[in-house]
């Protein structure tokens, strides 16, 4: 019974996106990462609108991992390449949320590895834990764009 209910909720959530029904900012964020985990990049792209530090649309942060032999690719393929390269397209647990402006929401999340442990981010590049403390909490933003909530922060970059 529990598994059937979970499947119905997951499938129902996917149909909500394809039907373009509005859901909350937190549901948008969680759904986005759920889509990445199940490799449904086409659905993830529908609710992803990466913005740079100036608030301008910037897909280039994702395309840096485009396969060089490919002349053109879809945004879904580029997002798949990005996720494969950075390895942080994981399930999220929302720890806190706040509305920071008109139609802008900030979330603090933890990433959950496939073994249900919390992602430890760092240290990198030969640094020790004393030099670079591992992080476990990350900020993500969701903004209403064209009357639809979209995640504006890309998946965590891991060098």
Contacts of 147 (CB under 8 A, 6+ apart): 22
Asked whether residue 1 is assigned to any structural domain, the reply reads no
Tokens of 93: 């647990």
CATH number at residue 95: 3.10.450.50
Asked whether residue 13 is assigned to any structural domain, the reply reads no
The DSSP call for residue 48 is B
Which pLDDT tens digit goes with each residue over 10-44? Answer: 444 444 444 556 689 999 999 999 999 999 999 99
CA–CA distance, 113 with 89 (Å, rounded to integer): 9
Which pLDDT tens digit goes with each residue over 90-111? Answer: 999 999 999 999 999 999 999 9
User: Domain range for residue 37?
Assistant: 22-151
* Total number of domains constituting the chain: 1
Q: Which of 84-88, 91-95, 130-134 shows the lowest mean pLDDT across its residues?
A: 130-134
Asked whether residue 76 is assigned to any structural domain, the reply reads yes
Q: What is the pLDDT of residue 71?
A: 67
Tokens of 103: 């139609």
Query: How long, in residues, is the chain?
Result: 159
CB of 97 closer than 8 Å to CB of 25: yes
Asked whether residue 14 is assigned to any structural domain, the reply reads no
């Amino acid at each position: 019974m529990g598994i059937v209910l979970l499947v119905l909720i997951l499938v129902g959530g996917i149909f909500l996106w394809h039907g373009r029904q509005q859901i909350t900012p937190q549901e948008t964020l969680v759904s986005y990462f759920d889509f990445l985990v199940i490799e449904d990049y086409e659905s993830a792209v529908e609710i992803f609108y990466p913005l740079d530090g100036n608030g301008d649309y910037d897909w280039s942060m994702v395309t840096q991992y485009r396969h060089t032999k490919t002349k053109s690719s879809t945004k879904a393929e580029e997002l798949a390449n990005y996720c494969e390269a950075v390895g942080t397209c994981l399930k999220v647990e929302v720890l806190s949320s706040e509305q920071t402006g008109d139609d802008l929401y900030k979330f603090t999340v933890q990433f959950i590895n496939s073994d249900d442990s919390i992602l430890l981010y760092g240290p990198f590049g030969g640094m020790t834990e004393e030099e670079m403390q591992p992080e476990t909490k990350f900020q993500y933003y969701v903004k209403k764009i064209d009357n639809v909530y979209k995640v504006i922060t890309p998946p965590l970059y891991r060098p």
